[in-house]
Structure 1
Amino acid sequence: MGTVSGLRTRRYHGLLVVAEPGRPARRHLGLAALDPVLTLPSGATVSLATHEWDGGVVSPEGHTLLERFELVDGLPRWRWRIGPVVLERGLAMVHGSPHVGVVHRLLSAPGPVTLTLKALVTWRDAHGERGASGPPPVVASSGDGAVVERAFRLHGPSWEPGGQWYRGAYAREEAARGLNATEDLWFAGQFRAELRPGEALEVEAWAGDGQPRGAQRIIDRAEERGRALVHDASDAVDAALVLAADAFVVAGAQGAPDVVAGYPWFGTWGRDTMTSYEGLFLATGWCDEGRELLRAYAATLSEGMLANTADTGQTEYNTVDGTLWFLHAVERHVTATGDEDLAREILPGLEQVVAAHVAGTRYGIRVDPADGLVTQGAPGVALTWMDARVDGVPVTPRAGKPVEVNALWINGLAAVAGLKERLGGDATGLRRLREQATVSFGARFRIPHPAGGQDAAPLFDVVDGPGGDDPSTRPNQLLAWSLPHAPLRGTPVPARLSDLFTPLGPRSLAADDPAFTGAHRGSPGDRDRAYHQGTVWPWLIGPYVDAVRHAPGGDDRELLAGIEAHLDEWGVGSVSETADGQAPHRATGCPFQAWSVAESLRVRRNVG
């Protein structure tokens, strides 16, 4: 991960970031940078690296010589020009392996040029820093490179050992997030080669056992794989979204496919995975991988709940909606593929989910027998996707009966009933539960119209909460129109919801609400307080487009234009986690977010 300019603006930026096998959330930064230095035919030396140092000094300033940056089959490529001398850098990773190849190729020069690549390394948790106050990384050199901290290896020509701290490397994005922004990097050594036009210096870095694979060969294979992934893409935007989706699908704890929720700081989250499922696996045609993922997640069901995350070191069952998204994902998969064997295998678990919700399970999650709607809530927890906390206190606890949870419940009951009937079973009880919940939904969630109102009425965000019914205008209610078996699908969408829409998707709270916060910036506490109080969430573009698409006279033709433009402005080639609620809606959060990409791809390919 890095930037177009080459400047490391985040603690996460580096050329080799290694995840522990089966634990995608546990990552270490290894090779932080390979700084190119050219010795020209005249004897002058030019550094093409760009670094910022504590105090605000940018040195060297290689970005001023950067002529071009592009993505080629999803892979980054830089080109620097110093008069007649042109140098190009390409890099790629081996799919499924912590192994990177970096190629610097001299495209033109009036004579031989010497290229030196300075390796700046560390070995630390990706979320932290390492400094000169502690011991330097242990570097064991060999003729073709070095082994760093017995954790990763560097390989390339004419290795010369180094041994020096580069103190005060500054990451401006961390400072903007209110976090420590300074660390020290260890100059482990350098590679060197004399190049003539057309020749290249190839360097590799990898973790664990393994042998050199050839940096150019790594790039060639990655380009071939990228072209294969997008062979059926309808246009450049479609291709970019498919390549972006591919980045999130990883090997999970048991070897089955799993989904990283977002880069650079998230691991795997059940809620995000199931929300993303249609876009990542069905819209792309990666159904075989999806099948194994669903089977693996089904094995985590406990007390009628799907495991949400193990990022904290232990498996947590802390969502009310993640399990209901799982019901949706399984039904969508079976509908798309006809895989009745999977339906037969997982259906007993899905029926247990329904039974556990009717009987009651963790955190007060239960079906209210009076109206058939799902209620939830326990002190100190936030169980919906709006789950931000500040000092351990939920910002938007939403205890009671949230609107999207009950839309998902009604949708999920129809999904399980349909699967059961598909396999020849009797779903009368499930259909009865759904009918009760649907009738109650229409009666309980509609906000009464003021006198003379003609438009469709918006919905309460939560009913039967500790403070009564919450009329806040939030995008959660979109699921009542967007899901395949939603209680209001095909009916007019309230005009009020269009007030939430921005080019990057709906705001999480209406801008005229007194609690609206327009900027998702500042310290961790500031950002968490703003997270669901007006911040834009691009993943909600999916429910918004579906709701409009299926409403009478709905026109969704221009709704994705902002997302398409966004592909070039933050996480290049991907879609961000969030954006400011106020114009110009600058992107925030993770630059690469799974459900943002998945929902954009799903509705663009008209899946679901």
Structure 2
Amino acid sequence: MNAEINRRIDVAQAQADNAREILRREWLITNGLGGYGSGTICGMVSRRYHGLLVAALPAPFGRVVMLNHLAEHLRLSEGRSVLIGGEESRTAGENGTQEHYVKEFRLEHGLPVWVFEAWGYTIEKRLLLIHGQNTVHITYRLLSGQDSAKLELCPSVHFRRYEHDVAEPFVSGYSLLINERRYEIATAGLPYALRLYVSDEKACFRYEGGQVREIGYQTEADRGYHSRGMLWTPGAFTMDLRSDRPVTLVASTEDWPSILAIDPASALAADVARRQRLVSVAGPLAQSDTAAELVLAADQFIITPAGRVEDTARAKAGGDEVRTVIAGYHWFTDWGRDTMISLEGLTLSTGRHHEAGWILKTFAHYIRDGLIPNYFPDGEREGVYHTADATLWFFHALDRYVETTHDRATLRLLLPKLVDIVEHHLRGTRFGIGVDHTDGLLRQGAEGYQLTWMDAKVDGWVVTPRRGKAVEINALWYNALCLLSGWLRAEQGEDAARSFEAHAQKARDSFNRRFWSPDRKCLLDVVDGEHGDDPAVRPNQIFSVSLRHPVLDESHWAAVVEKVRADLLTPVGLRSLSRDHPDYKARYFGDLRARDAAYHQGTVWAWLIGPFIDAWLKVHPEDHAGARNFLHGLIEHLDEGCVGSISEVFDAEAPYTQRACIAQAWSVAEVLRCWVKTEPTAPDPAPPPAADSAQ
């Protein structure tokens, strides 16, 4: 592993170039439970989701913002002070210009580090979330200046569910309990306190009786939400900084023995060692600088769900562990579709094979009526099921897992569930999901539901309903039938596979007859829809080529790939709709309704670059260099948005501004997977099965 996996941002220069644009660069650190810390790299608080500690608490609480903000004052002689960090970390200079004290932000092994410069002092700040705990360590060290400097830290809180309105009033007053050097902030209605501790025994605390101040959240204003909220501050910690003696503020919802069990220096060393192991087990092709960064970014999404105690008990009884995937930060939980699409990149490309198996078995437990959950609401124990494709992606994920690990035992364990899934689809199951036996194609759709991955809905308006027979649903259906028949043949013999092969062949024949448009040289997006066939040019057709078992006749592969390249490809992924469609939206911005109206109507999705590259290499099997070139815009994006990670979506036109979730699981997973796949030393992929075979 590269000893220094670093990514550095010159914040001072970036602010001088574009002061507003720097607010769009954010940082993220996670704790393996779903909890996290996040903010802008310049210190401004701009989102309801920002906080130094957003704790993942057991159901029914879910993720709660516990430590919202920390104002950092450098105390100077003669009673003067300057606010070097926080949402107001800028002051007017003598000439009226803005003076900024955050000079540098960088990631070291994925961990955020800041450098402040003020009045001849240089101070470094490091942030660490303890893996497996709701505990944050904020460590300061004097790099240069006089022998010591006085630093004052003012914590501010507003305990609330992380998605709740910033204008939500305090449920009740806050109280502060002090026991020697241990401090606890509590409020009625939440059985968890925020415990604070300073590693320097000489640090002192000044109690100010609890002050309330108002703070603004610029990004919430841009998104059409309330953007002014109140924070409660108990007082301030004052400490001496020295170059040879870092000082750490610890904030946690854990009990005191857990908080004090490891000192800050040992905790940092342990976490760096854990990150080094993550890269080392990922294999040689994932240990280059870029790939190693993506391996660490991938780690942020793989969690042990803190609130689902029953899952943990059940898994441990069977000798396993519980793992799931956070679909995106800040606001997504674990989604079935996103998990199955991401599984290969997040776990198999990173050598985390056991966790891949645990994730598959966790979701298999929740199969109901032939469906895996669409998602698990935050703070809930049960999932919701309105999805037509997540279950079909489950077959794809299992296929990638078995090919990589050769774990036939897990396959045999899950095989009865796979048969049950397909039989439910053949009979028909929830939400109008079922096979039309006249042509063998899978249809889906129920009034008021959005069942495909194009699932935007606001105020009862389903933006892209796609009811009927959707192109990617049927590509996935055919792939699932082929995989199941192959597995059954290997495990149980030819007779067990025969009927599923017949269903696959019927679906394939109908697909090529119904979806191919000879005039337009591409595929329809939906057939037998609410308003007939839909000829919209969308990226969904790429799955007819990219999956292990391509449903499309090979003679049409090149035409479909070229149509997607010409109409939908951008430097950061694929557009969700071609420019010539009347519903095309070039930008994803504004309030919720405006954003959802654009979500799948042109907006670029980073994750789609993965299946596009898969399809490209089937048509151009020798062009690994060209395939890698499709990733370069997303690699450059690692300096933007959430530094070191990849956003959910981008505007459909230049400059392709990043939007929505600042870090998305399937974006990271697919870029990492394809970066490894297109390494010059990567082994050639296995040839695809014959296009005219349902095997």
Shorter-normalised TM range: over 0.9
2:431 aligns to what SS in structure 1? helix
Residue matched to 2:242: 196
Amino acid at match of 1:215: P
Q: Give the 5 Å matches for 1:19-38.
A: 19-21=56-58, 26-38=62-74
- Tell me how far apart the structure 2 counterparts of residues 308 and 182 of structure 1 sit (CA, whole Å): 33
Task: Give CA deviations for 1:381-429 in whole Å, capped at 9, x if unaligned.
Answer: 1100111112112111000000000000111111112222232433111
Residue matched to 2:302: 249
Residue matched to 1:71: 107
Amino acid at match of 1:537: W
1:341 aligns to what SS in structure 2? helix
Cα–Cα, structure 1 residues 27 and 429, in superposed 2: closer, same or farther, change >3 Å? same
Select 1:311's aligned residue among 364, 377, 380.
377
CA contact (8 A) 2:91 2:100 kept: no
Q: Give the 5 Å matches for 1:189-588.
A: 189-209=235-255, 210-212=258-260, 213-231=262-280, 232=283, 233-252=286-305, 253=308, 254-255=311-312, 256-311=322-377, 313=380, 314-426=382-494, 427-449=497-519, 457-488=521-552, 491-494=557-560, 495-498=562-565, 499-552=567-620, 555-588=626-659
Superposed displacement of residue 602, structure 1: 1.3
RMSD: 2.2
- Tell me how far apart the structure 2 counterparts of residues 283 and 59 of structure 1 sit (CA, whole Å): 49
> Which shows bigger deviation, 333-342 or 488-497?
488-497
- Tell me how far apart the structure 2 counterparts of residues 28 and 127 of structure 1 sit (CA, whole Å): 9
Cα–Cα, structure 1 residues 489 and 536, in superposed 2: closer, same or farther, change >3 Å? farther
> Which shows bigger deviation, 326-335 or 70-79?
326-335
Amino acid at match of 2:391: T
1:574 aligns to what SS in structure 2? coil
Select 2:205's aligned residue among 154, 159, 176.
159
Task: Give CA deviations for 1:499-543 in whole Å, capped at 9, x if unaligned.
Answer: 201111001000121110111100111111111111111011111
Superposed displacement of residue 214, structure 1: 2.3
CA contact (8 A) 1:101 1:216 kept: no
2:543 aligns to what SS in structure 1? helix
Residue matched to 1:97: 133
- Tell me how far apart the structure 1 counterparts of residues 116 and 85 of structure 2 sit (CA, whole Å): 10
Residue matched to 2:34: none
- Tell me how far apart the structure 2 counterparts of residues 557 and 196 of structure 1 sit (CA, whole Å): 47
- Tell me how far apart the structure 2 counterparts of residues 59 and 483 of structure 1 sit (CA, whole Å): 57
- Tell me how far apart the structure 1 counterparts of residues 288 and 418 of structure 2 sit (CA, whole Å): 38
> Which shows bigger deviation, 221-230 or 351-360?
221-230
Select 1:598's aligned residue among 665, 669, 674.
669
> Which shows bigger deviation, 508-517 or 220-229?
220-229
Gapped runs of 5+ residues in structure 2?
1-37, 187-191, 313-321, 679-684, 686-695
Q: Give the structure with the higher percent helix.
A: 2
Cα–Cα, structure 1 residues 545 and 63, in superposed 2: closer, same or farther, change >3 Å? farther
- Tell me how far apart the structure 2 counterparts of residues 197 and 344 of structure 1 sit (CA, whole Å): 59
- Tell me how far apart the structure 1 counterparts of residues 135 and 98 of structure 2 sit (CA, whole Å): 26
Residue matched to 2:189: none
Amino acid at match of 1:123: F
1:572 aligns to what SS in structure 2? coil
- Tell me how far apart the structure 2 counterparts of residues 562 and 283 of structure 1 sit (CA, whole Å): 21
Residue matched to 1:453: none
Cα–Cα, structure 1 residues 367 and 438, in superposed 2: closer, same or farther, change >3 Å? same
CA contact (8 A) 2:158 2:170 kept: no
Q: Does 1:15 align with 2:86?
A: no
CA contact (8 A) 2:68 2:158 kept: yes
Select 2:184's aligned residue among 122, 143, 147.
147
Identity over aligned pairs, percent = 38
Cα–Cα, structure 1 residues 38 and 478, in superposed 2: closer, same or farther, change >3 Å? same
Superposed displacement of residue 165, structure 1: 3.3
CA contact (8 A) 1:130 1:183 kept: yes
Task: Give CA deviations for 1:113-162 in whole Å, capped at 9, x if unaligned.
Answer: 11111111221111122567764322222321411114221111423323
CA contact (8 A) 2:55 2:134 kept: yes
CA contact (8 A) 1:52 1:59 kept: no
Residue matched to 2:173: 136
Alignment length (residue pairs): 598
> Which shows bigger deviation, 236-245 or 77-86?
77-86
Gapped runs of 5+ residues in structure 1?
451-456
- Tell me how far apart the structure 2 counterparts of residues 438 and 339 of structure 1 sit (CA, whole Å): 29
Task: Give CA deviations for 1:299-330 in whole Å, capped at 9, x if unaligned.
Answer: 11111111222317452110000000001111
